[in-house]
Structure 1
Amino acid sequence: MKKPVVIDAKTVNVDLQPGILRKDFVWGVSTSSYQIEGATREDGRGLSIWDTYARQKGRIEHGDTADIACDHYHRYPEDIALMKGLGIDAYRFSVAWPRVLPRGRGAVNEKGLDFYDRVIDGVLEAGIEPWLCLYHWDLPQSLGDLGGWTKRDIAGWFADYAALLSRRYGDRVKHFATFNEPCVAILFGYAMSWNAPGVSDRASYLKAVHHLNLAHGGAVDVIRDLVPGASIGIVHNRQPVYPESETPENIHATALLDTHWNLIFTDPQCLAAYPQLAANDIEPYVQAGDMAKICRPIDWIGLNHYSPIYARAEPNSELGFAWGKSPDHNDHPDFRWPIHPDAFRETLMDTWTRYGLPVYVTENGCGDPDAPNATGEIVDERRVNYLRAYIHAMGEAVKQGADVRGYFVWSLLDNFEWGAGFGNRFGLAYVNFETLRRTPKSSYFAYRDMIHRLR
């Protein structure tokens, strides 16, 4: 097992050399609706399961909510200007399902649709290509009340939602992702209660897995039908899984976590089969013809990756495993995740080799408790060196044959980081959450310069 490597500004100074990447390589940044938009009760938006979850005591650090977040709903022109200043090619964002369909189905909210019209038009005017993700975890609460992803009907509701967005934006948007990180949304939301809706129930989890997979396949068909020339993918969080210690129980737990984190969505979507360690558990919920409905042709896989993860046996858990600690406890002291660029290279190679689809790195970045210095600058050397090290590792994967076609930093802005609230900052731009002022960090200028040099 390879040990994690702590990125330190004094010891790491690696970078990718020009000429390694494709001429049409896509450089970008990513955000998500719930984490930046705010305006959760404005202009007809319905509640999401995250609005409900964030108000439950003890769920979010410091009791933070995303009611205002970065106020992107009102300040999106500032954020588009930041993107333009970076010189990026593409912007990956998500639509808030409850903003355009307040009850998840039925009556459409035109004010919500108009907002994304303005964002898309502004991004295009800045010379940036919009990449639209249909779902980044903010399920309408009205659908949550009906059972959310545990109900098979949700595949049809999601297809209708996909049709609405395809018809509205397909004249200008050509890159669509159906889902962002289904493993996080469903495993944490329905088996471990760490994310909305906060459930911990084995049967609910297994149903939710299968129904989201059905929803993905249905949405692919809808977009393909309604958007001529669409490039369609899905975004997965994939990470190598290591045992916390080399005991037989932990090694088995590692195989289980790998199944439920890395394979249980991607395998059926791309290979038309559930992984061996999960197939029997999900079989009761699979109907005739389901696998053909799930495994629809897509054009690319989005890879979100930050670090390796560790597993330990936990017989009393819903699935037989728990999150373990990295064995040497040498994680990034604030980020709290092991920093391991080689794991990124390995994951890129594994994703390309296993699925044979072009890969876009749709999230990669580093969290820190950034703060302005005495002169008001945000000097985030650790993030700069993280980006250099991971972009270098991506280049190594390309040299080894991986078909990697783009790289998107998470994130453009400091934002609402789910259970961590506002305490963990991933942005290239610092957000003062009292004044909402944006200030580019050192990493903003470093990423801008890397893009310019590597084109």
Structure 2
Amino acid sequence: MKSTNIQDIPLNKQLFGDDFVWGVSTAALQIEGAHDADGKGESVWDVFSTKKGKIFGGHHHHIACDFYNRYEADIDLIKQLNIKAFRFSISWSRLLPDGTGRVNQAGIDYYNRVIDYCLQQGVEPWVTIYHWDLPHALELQGGWTNRAIVDWFTNYTTLCAQSFGDRVKHWMVMNEPTVFTGAGYFFGIHAPGKTGLKNFLPAVHHAVLCMVAGGKTLRKLLPKTTQIGTTFSCSYIEPYSNKPRDVAAAKRVDALLNRLFIEPILGMGYPELSVLKGMEKYILPGDEANLIFDFDFIGVQNYTREIVKYSLFTPYIHAKLVKAEKRNVPTTAMGWEVYPESIYHMLKQFNAYPQIKKIYLTESGSAFPDEVVDGVINDTKRAQYLQDFLQQVARAKSDGYEVSGYFIWTLTDNFEWAEGYNPRFGIIHVDFETQQRTVKASGQWYADFLGD
């Protein structure tokens, strides 16, 4: 395909077509608070956040954005900003305090209220079933390393479908399995804090089995018009140099970060990497058929690119990332490079899979330090980030690549996992002392853009 000069594309909503979905994304644990209210059970993050040194500044999510109590006001803001689609997740332990078995009706009632209010306000709910908050009771039994999680997850998905499937038309089974398995079961920097291949490899395989089991369950129980997807994090990978060993290292990192989960569900199997050889002992007879599912859409989530070079002393993968701060490039508050072309390249890469029917960009956004001056937040860097990334989405669409929607991460500043409340991704500012909401300049830009 011939690439279009991005400067020739005026950025306006009409450029994307009338059917393009414009949304905003959130996650239950990051915004809800009410961590032990109304019968909710403990999640792995409830336990992990109590451990010294695990969360920046000793922060915790117990109150977060208090969305649990303020959901109507926040959904009103979504409507005010002309946003038509709201992606949020269900808290597993709010529905099933022990992860399985006993149902907490108060949790089901809560999400019914959220869904009903969205629809009342003309905002379409897009629901993620699993966004990292595994019930602690299941982690005590091995969590994602225990093959029994396939049954646990299937039961949980069944409950979600039966409780909300009459009104929710768009479902995402799982959010970014690369992150919660890698950070939580290999590096130990996210909940539950496990480390090593002995935890990572079974967690990966069981997550793939659960994605497929979840997809099959939703398709069995929900109307045929329901759209079923799942989401993947991805970063555009480039080698540090043209040296063969840097090029080979970049290919290995791309396989681990961008291909590890998508290719099995497409029927391509796991990428051939030496680090994955130990996976064989977790793959049982019959698993091959249970690794494949024909999703209606795939959610692609992109924030940046990574530069990779060969590293003899990095175990398993013999590659390392060259940090953005060492490359003299603009960065966000997360230390991630601001590189708008990354989203174009990832759309191109996922479009190369002929099995994928439809692609939504289910997360894209940036964290920058926000300063409140006289009640106003002029977050020009975030607004520019959004415009530059959307220009690249328009470029991809112009070049014929499939992309059907864009969801900003995120609605309100929130609890950003191990980083606590330090990085602010929201298009709405939150004063975490008072819970005061203030629409940032980036949020107003998005509202104006969508209102054109």
Q: Which amino acid aligns with 1:296?
A: F
Q: CA deviation at 1:294?
A: 1.8
Q: Deviations over 1:323-342 (max 9, x none)?
A: 43135232325341101111
The 3-state SS of whatever aligns with 1:65 is coil
Matched, 1:304 2:305: no
Cα distance in 2 for partners of 1:413, 1:445 equals: 13
On the 8 A contact 2:12/2:449 being kept in 1, the answer is no
**Within 5 A, what are the aligned runs for 1:167-186?**
167-186=162-181
Question: How many residues are aligned here?
Answer: 441
Cα distance in 2 for partners of 1:401, 1:191 equals: 38
* Other-structure match for 1:325: 323
On the 8 A contact 1:206/1:282 being kept in 2, the answer is yes
* Other-structure match for 1:390: 389
Gapped regions of structure 2 (runs ≥ 5): 1-6
* Other-structure match for 2:371: 371
* Other-structure match for 2:360: 360
Please identify, of 14-23 and 182-191, the stretch whose mean Cα deviation from structure 2 is larger: 14-23
* Other-structure match for 2:107: 112
Q: CA deviation at 1:451?
A: 1.4
Q: CA deviation at 1:321?
A: 4.2
Instruction: Return the match for 1:87 from 82, 85, 89.
Output: 82
Q: CA deviation at 1:437?
A: 0.9
Q: CA deviation at 1:239?
A: 1.2
Taking structure 1 as the reference length, the TM-score comes to 0.93
Please identify, of 164-173 and 223-232, the stretch whose mean Cα deviation from structure 2 is larger: 223-232
Q: Which amino acid aligns with 1:370?
A: D
On the 8 A contact 1:134/1:162 being kept in 2, the answer is yes
On the 8 A contact 2:170/2:228 being kept in 1, the answer is yes
Cα distance in 2 for partners of 1:197, 1:248 equals: 37
Rate the CA distance shift 1:333–1:173 in 2: closer, same or farther, 3 A: closer
On the 8 A contact 1:272/1:291 being kept in 2, the answer is no
Instruction: Return the match for 1:240 from 231, 236, 250.
Output: 236
Gapped regions of structure 1 (runs ≥ 5): 1-11
**Within 5 A, what are the aligned runs for 1:274-293?**
274-277=270-273, 280-293=277-290
Matched, 1:268 2:267: no
* Other-structure match for 1:381: 380
Aligned-residue CA RMSD (Å): 1.9
Q: CA deviation at 1:211?
A: 0.3
Cα distance in 1 for partners of 2:63, 2:136 equals: 18
Identity across matched positions, percent: 38
* Other-structure match for 1:256: 252
Please identify, of 295-304 and 280-289, the stretch whose mean Cα deviation from structure 2 is larger: 280-289
Instruction: Return the match for 1:198 from 171, 178, 193.
Output: 193
On the 8 A contact 2:413/2:430 being kept in 1, the answer is yes
Matched, 1:121 2:116: yes
Rate the CA distance shift 1:211–1:369 in 2: closer, same or farther, 3 A: same
Cα distance in 2 for partners of 1:270, 1:452 equals: 37
Rate the CA distance shift 1:333–1:232 in 2: closer, same or farther, 3 A: closer
Cα distance in 1 for partners of 2:104, 2:217 equals: 21
On the 8 A contact 2:9/2:395 being kept in 1, the answer is no
Cα distance in 2 for partners of 1:51, 1:189 equals: 14
Matched, 1:209 2:204: yes
Cα distance in 1 for partners of 2:10, 2:134 equals: 39
The 3-state SS of whatever aligns with 1:43 is helix
